[in-house]
Amino acid sequence: MDKSNKELAVDLAKSALMAMAQMSQNNMHKPLSGDDVENILKSCYSAVCSLDERE
């Protein structure tokens, strides 16, 4: 069964957040706000949807 664009966007956002956490593991950084997470999800969803438009 194929994943929906929303499910793909969540997977992409999760991977991006994991990569960000790994890259900044040794550096002090402020926690992400709810708005930050929402913006990341919106960006990922937009990117996934734009792939459909290219077909």
**What pLDDT is stored for residue 55 in this prediction?**
62
User: Is residue 30 scored above 90 in pLDDT?
Assistant: no
**What pLDDT is stored for residue 43 in this prediction?**
97
pLDDT bin (cut points 50, 70, 90) of residue 7 is very high
Mean pLDDT, range 16-41, rounded to an integer? 86
**What pLDDT is stored for residue 22 in this prediction?**
84
Q: Which amino acid is at 47?
A: A
Distances (CA, A) of 25 to 36, 47, 53: 18, 26, 36
Structure tokens at 15: 């991977």
| Higher local confidence (pLDDT), 55 or 6 | 6
